[in-house]
Structure 1
Amino acid sequence: MNIEIWQIIVLSLLGFYAIVENLGINVFANQALIMGTITGLVMGDVKTGLAVGATLQLMGLGIQAYGGASVPDYMTASIVGTAFAVISGKGVEFGIGLAVPVALLMIQLDILARFCNVFFQRRIDNGIKEMNLSKIRLFHLLGTFSWGLSRGLPIFLVFSFGESIVEFISNVIPEWLTGGLSVAGGMLPAVGIAILLRYLPVKNFITYLLIGFIAVTYLHMPMFGVALLGFALAILQFKKIISERQIGNVTIATENATVQVEGGLSENEYEN
């Protein structure tokens, strides 16, 4: 399958938008799952986009750029991995295996983009000293533009030479390496689940984990059914917490009332 020029432009703009929006508070848009789904929609294979994006989303849980640190960019990786999975026709595992090195490569481009933005930041500082609002606004926009190009431009270049790159991956790279990428891609969902469990209070909710495991392994329940089961258990847990809080509030109110009764009134106060 060949990638069309309009698909290249749309996906490049998507990568540009995703990394710029990552600086804001819209946590819905800048997710690997969302980027993978949109890429799958653009490429005409939403199922592959969901599979690649969901797997990379699991890998990225618990990883944040705290303090300005550079972390693997699974959003851009989701775009590239989904597109190449569809173009090459080698499936989800191949796309995931290719996406992980892309996510790690984006760390270097992230550092380069931050380094370039220092130049604009210095100009903004001078604009603040001069109280020049137009200068502040200009360099702020230029910094945002350069930040977006750190993802949009690589995506555009990769997809512009997409056919030759896919041929290179398919024909030049040894089969054992592409096979290894596919095997690694098949293992990565388990790694993502392990990372997720590492950050969750599993010991407190081991019962729910076992219920889900039994439902999938022994009852062969589909993922949608497991999601509904989890939703039902979440409702029960929520009601349990609310009930415990209500009981606690009643107990506190009763204790306060008991203290007031025990305090009572003195004989002189009662006579008055």
Structure 2
Amino acid sequence: MAWWQILLLTVYAGLEILDELQIYSSLNTPVGAGMIAGIIMGDLQTGLIIGASMQLMVLGVGTFGGASKIDATTGTVLATAFSTSVKGMSPQTAISSIAVPVAAIMVELDVLARFANTYFSHRVDHLIDQDKINYSAVERNLLYGAIPWALSRAVPVFIALAFGRGLVQTIAKALNGDLMWLGTGLTVAGATLPAVGFAILLRYLPVKKHIAYLILGFTVTTLFSVIFSNIQALGTGVAVANKSFTATFNGLPMLAIAMIGLALAILHYKSIPINKVAAKNVVAPSGNVDSKINDNKGEITDDEL
């Protein structure tokens, strides 16, 4: 791993958390981190595989108020860097052995960054309490708060990349040698982690209320996938039999399926005001609104979010 790669990944790690807190350009997401880390390391495919897998894993994970969550973005950066630079470490192994543990450990550093920022908050409070407020000093202290956030990501990434490659190489060698059984298990675990994200997401979505959309989306996706897979297979067979056949059959892009989902979401969104007004106007015999109208126990709806 070259020094400039370590430097660029360290700088990105420090900037991505600031992006998440202020701009949110989507480059701070796991898939964005995988793309950038993959470009820096010269292996975009591996970066996207790791980033997309981590993105799917945290689909249903969110923060409320000042809560901290696992840092899948930093985990993606380190997993991509080591998977592309260490021989014998597959993306799936890197996900389960590096990305997930790092993402969990980064929760502690996230909390540390939050605590460090209280120092600047107290300084701002002190400046405001003065008879003559120094507004420039207040602005500076507010900007200083970005330093702990950036260091909480940049420092561990730099230490891991600069001094941890030998350890990772030893682990990769062991997982491909005497501990092959463990390496195989980690590979399987890394491949199944996206299902965990879907499970968490389905747990917090109002699935019981909109089960029809879930069934429709699954059926449409499966149907189109089968149809276009068969078309691709047919085109490949014809091309083998007839060398002059040069047409290319591409599979249905995920963008098309996403647009179908967007259309259904828009239809549902437009129907929400009508349903809410109707629910408010329905009164039980006792004079209270019927509690059975919106029975979504155990689910988080858009109002609660």
- TM-score class, shorter: 0.7 to 0.9
Aligned residue runs from structure 1 range 1-272, under 5 A: 3-89=1-87, 90-97=89-96, 98-130=98-130, 131-171=133-173, 174-198=179-203, 199=205, 201=207, 203-205=211-213, 206-216=215-225, 220=229, 225-231=252-258, 233-234=260-261, 237=264
Which AA in structure 2 matches 1:225? L
What secondary structure does 1:66 align onto? coil
Taking only aligned residues, the RMSD between alpha carbons, in angstroms, comes to: 2.8
Percent identity of paired positions between Structure 1 and Structure 2: 35
* Aligned CA distance change for structure 1 residues 84 and 74 (closer, same or farther; 3 Å): same
Which whole-Å CA distance do the structure 1 matches of 2:56 and 2:118 have between them? 32
Name the structure where helix makes up a greater proportion of residues.
1
Pairs aligned (count): 243
Which whole-Å CA distance do the structure 2 matches of 1:236 and 1:76 have between them? 34
Deviation sequence 1:189-239 (CA, Å, 0-9, x none): 222233344437461311221221244468647995151541453476479
So what's the TM-score if we normalise by structure 2? 0.70
What is the Cα deviation at residue 132 of structure 1? 1.9
Which whole-Å CA distance do the structure 2 matches of 1:54 and 1:132 have between them? 46
Deviation sequence 1:172-198 (CA, Å, 0-9, x none): 674444333222101112222333444
Which whole-Å CA distance do the structure 2 matches of 1:125 and 1:239 have between them? 45
Report the structure number with the largest CA radius of gyration: 1
What secondary structure does 1:207 align onto? helix
Which whole-Å CA distance do the structure 2 matches of 1:189 and 1:216 have between them? 19
Question: Following superposition, which runs of at least 4 residues in structure 1 exceed 6 angstroms of deviation?
Answer: 238-242
So what's the TM-score if we normalise by structure 1? 0.78
Deviation sequence 1:157-182 (CA, Å, 0-9, x none): 00001431222322467444433322
* Aligned CA distance change for structure 1 residues 165 and 142 (closer, same or farther; 3 Å): farther
What secondary structure does 1:225 align onto? coil
Which whole-Å CA distance do the structure 2 matches of 1:12 and 1:239 have between them? 40
**Further displaced range: 171-180 or 139-148:** 171-180
